[in-house]
Structure 1
Amino acid sequence: MKDNKYSRRNFLHKYLKAGSILAGAGFVLSYTSLSAVAKELVQSSSSNQQPPKKAVKPAQKNQCDNLSGVSAEEIEKRKKLAYVTKTPIPDSHCSNCTLYLPPAKDKPCGGCMLFKGPVRPDGYCAYWAPINN
């Protein structure tokens, strides 16, 4: 049988050998570049010793803004009633509204008859009604 230079066997042998060489070269190059980058990072971090940054504490949130136990429906109700934590009208706030429920002895926040969840005394909503004495 004649040796055919265009046979399938010769083609596969030739290109598998070339593919193996290229894959090996790519692996070696990537490994050497990664190790060079790692060495550079170590050197730069040791030469630029900076004191560690202080942890920044998040601002203390008001307990009356914690809605973690409030259902999504009730939160939506608060939005529809235009409840805000700080009144835009100085003489109209939750603590002087007929619908406001004062806080219990050991609680900092009150409530509202229209929706569930904590309410700030200095909050406001569109259904504010003055207390009639």
Structure 2
Amino acid sequence: MINNHRTISMNRRKSIKTLLASTGVVFFMTNCGKPQEEYKLENIDDCADLTGLSEEEVAKRKSLGYEEKSPLEGDNCNNCQLYLPPTAKRKCGGCQLFKGPVNADAYCTYWAPKV
């Protein structure tokens, strides 16, 4: 009887592990083939234009406290560790936290000084 209980318990554990593993595989496979919505700063001429952003991305910017002009003297995106400065290929700066153009004089609550 004890061996039978142990066998049932081991089979149950194995079944649960298999179920969890297969659930992860199914989740990966269903999300793997989905194209990600692409947003490229290279396509932007007006750095204040947010028309290409999804509602979620615009909401994310707001939730991070993004402001076009910094309210704090000396703390702005241009001297933030997370800022992606403009390049020869893109007119506007960007941020590592959210999509869309970023003004060098802007600010958000996640501002971190460059080190």
Shorter-normalised TM-score: what interval?
Answer: 0.5 to 0.7
- Alignment partner of 2:93 out of 98, 102, 110: 110
How many percent of aligned residue pairs carry the same amino acid? 54
Amino acid at match of 2:48: D
Structure 2 gap ranges (5+): 1-44
How far does residue 109 in structure 1 lie from its aligned partner after superposition?
A: 1.1
Deviation above 3 Å: which 4+ runs of structure 1?
Answer: none
Q: Name the counterpart of 1:75.
A: 58
How far does residue 117 in structure 1 lie from its aligned partner after superposition?
A: 0.3
Structure 1 gap ranges (5+): 1-61
Q: Name the counterpart of 1:126.
A: 109
TM-score (norm 2): 0.59
1:49-68 matched pairs, under 5 angstroms: 63-68=46-51
TM-score (norm 1): 0.51
How far apart, in 1, do the equivalents of 2:72 and 2:109 lie? 11
Question: C-alpha root-mean-square deviation of aligned residues, in Å?
Answer: 1.3
How far does residue 108 in structure 1 lie from its aligned partner after superposition?
A: 2.6
Higher CA-based Rg: 1
> 1 or 2 for the larger relative contact order (CA 8 Å, sep ≥6)?
2
How far apart, in 2, do the equivalents of 1:108 and 1:90 lie? 24
How far does residue 63 in structure 1 lie from its aligned partner after superposition?
A: 1.5
How far apart, in 1, do the equivalents of 2:71 and 2:91 lie? 21
Amino acid at match of 2:78: S
Q: Name the counterpart of 1:92.
A: 75
How far does residue 107 in structure 1 lie from its aligned partner after superposition?
A: 2.7
